[in-house]
Amino acid sequence: MLTPTSTGARAASPVRLLRRVSTVSSLEDGAFTVVLPVLAQKSAGDMGVVAVFIALTAPWALTSLPLGYLADHVSRTRLAKGAAFGRLGFAVFLAALPLWTGSAQWLFPAVAFGLGTCGVASEIARQSLVPQLVSGPEDLVSANVEITKVSQLYGAFVGPLLAGALLTWNQALTTTVLAVLAALTLLFTLLLPAVPPLRDEPMRPRTMVKDGLGGFRYIWRTRTLLALAASSCLVSAIWYVWETTFAAYALADDGLGVSELGYSLLLLSGAAGGFVGARLVQRMLSAFPLRGALTLSLVGWTVWFAVPAFTTNLLAVAGSLVVGGCSGLLWNTISISVRQLVTSVEILGRTTAAYRVVTRTGRVVGAALAGVLMPHMPWQHILAACAGAIALTAVALRFLYRDGDDGDRTSAGAGAGAGTGTGDDGAGASAKEGA
C-alpha cells in the first residue's frame, strides 16, 4: 500500500517543476472558466454561452481516447510541451480578437474548443508523468497530493477570482494576462526532463480503436460500472443543461444581473462546497451503502438546482452552490472509487477513458439541449425542470438499484480515499477537470 512520504531527492526537482506547471496551468484554466462565458455572453448573448459550453466540453468526449493512446506511445513531456505551445497560440489569438470585426464573436467557441483540446492533452500528460518522475512508488501519494492541492487552489479559487477582478477593470488587460500565463506555462513545461515513451511500438489507428473498445466492452460486461456509467451520463446531461442556463441567467441584465466579479464569486461558492465536502465524504461513504450515498448526493443536487429557480437572493443562491459542490464531490468520489475497485489495474486506463467519454458526452448533450430550450422557456423554468429531473433520478435510483450488486456496499466505503478530488463524473460546481 502506498503511504505519503516526502519525494526523494533524485525526484524532487522534476516533481517541483511539474508542480509549477500545474500551478500556472490551473490558474490559467480557472481564469478561462470565467472569461470565455462572460465574453461570449457579451458578444452573442445566450447562444454564445451555449456554444462556449459545448466547445469546452466536447474535447473530453472526442479526444480522451486518442490522446490517452498517444500518451502511451510518445514521450509524455513531449506531449505536454505540444499542448503548452497550443495553449499559448489560442491564448494569444483570444487576446487579438478585439482587432477583428463582424462575426468575430463566433470565434469564441473555436478558441474554447482549441483550449479545451490542449487542456485534455495537458491533463493526461501531467497525470501520466508523475509515476515516471518520482523515485519510487512510495513517493506517488505525496507527489499527487502536492499537485492536486495547487491545482484545486489555483484552478477553483485564485483563477476565477483573478479573472472576475480583471474583467471588471478591463477586457483587453484580462486576455493579455491570460496570454502571459500561457507563456509562463510553456516556459515551465519546457524545463521538464525528457522521459521515454512507455510502449516501443508504432502507433496504429486500428490498435487505438481496439484498445479503446476494450474499455467500453469491460463497462458493458460489468453490471456495477454499466449502471454507474449510465447514471453519470444522465446526471451529467441534466447538470450541463442547468450549468449552461445558469451561466446565461446569472450574467444577463434581466436575470441575476451579477457583474463579472460577482459571477466568479458564485463559482467560488461551488468550489468552497467541494473543499467542505472533502472533510465529510469519507464519513458518509462509511455510514451509507452505495445506493444510499448516491441518493443522498442527488438530494443535494436537487437543492442546488432548485434554489436559483425560485429566488434571486444571491446569498441563497451562493449557499445552494456550496451544497452543490459538496454533493458533486460525493458523487464523483463514489464513481471513481467504484471504478478503481472493480477494474483490474491492467485495463484501468482504457476503462477510465471509455467511462470519461460516456460522461463527457452527457455534458455535451446537456449544453446543446440548453441551447434548444432557452429561446422557448424562461431561465428559471429550465432550472426548476432540471431540479425535478434530478429528483426523479434520485427516486429511480432508490427503487431500481439494489445494494449488493458486484459487491457495491464495500466499493463505496473501501475506496473513499481514492477519489476525493473533483474530476470526471459528477462535479464540484466549478471544479477543475481531473482524476
In the numeric block, which cell numbers belong to residue 131?
509515476
Sign of the dihedral defined by the CA atoms of residues 320, 272, 124, 49, in that order: positive
Locate 84 and state its grid cell: 503548452
Cα distance between residue 121 and residue 354, in whole Å = 16
339 touches 225 (CB < 8 A): yes
Which triple of cell numbers denotes residue 149?
492541492
pLDDT for 114 equals 94
Contacts 24+ apart (CB under 8 A), 212-218: 212/65, 212/69, 212/350, 212/353, 212/354, 214/347, 214/350, 215/347, 215/350, 215/351, 215/352, 215/353, 215/354, 215/355, 216/354, 218/343, 218/347, 218/350, 218/351, 218/354
Q: Average pLDDT across each block of 10 residues of the chain; the chain has 435 residues. List them in order.
A: 41 76 91 89 84 88 81 84 95 84 71 92 82 72 70 82 88 92 94 77 68 81 87 93 92 87 86 75 73 85 94 93 86 76 68 82 92 92 95 83 47 42 42 38
**Integer angstrom CA distances of residue 426 from 140, 181, 297:** 25, 28, 10
pLDDT at position 321 is 92
Compute the distance between CA of residue 214 and CA of residue 210 in angstroms, rounded to an integer.
6
Q: Residue 260 has which C-alpha cell?
A: 463579472
Of 125, 9, 112, the C-alpha closest to 57 is 112
**Taking a C-beta distance cutoff of 8 angstroms, is the pair 240, 53 a contact?**
yes
Specify the 3-state DSSP secondary structure of 328: helix
Q: At residue 76, what is the residue type?
A: R
Which pLDDT value is given to residue 168? 86
The counts of H helices and E strands in the chain are 15, 0
Say what the pLDDT of residue 405 is: 47
Q: What confidence score (pLDDT) does residue 390 get?
A: 94
Contacts of 283-288 with CB under 8 Å at 24 or more apart are: 284/330, 285/330, 285/333, 285/334, 285/337, 285/412, 285/413, 285/416, 286/413, 286/416, 288/412
pLDDT number for residue 417: 42
For residue 270, the 8-state DSSP code is: H
pLDDT of amino acid 428: 42
Spell out the residues 6+ positions from residue 391 whose beta carbon is closer than 8 angstroms to its own: 298, 302
**Residue 240 corresponds to which cell in the numbers above?**
450541463
Q: Of 58, 103, 69, 57, whose CA–CA distance to 427 is shortest?
A: 57
Handedness of CA 167, 378, 107, 233 (dihedral sign): positive
Residue 350 makes CB contacts below 8 A (sequence gap 6+) with 68, 211, 212, 214, 215, 218
Residues 165, 157: Cα–Cα separation, whole Å: 12
Q: What is the dihedral of CA 235, 331, 227, 113, to 10 degrees?
A: 50
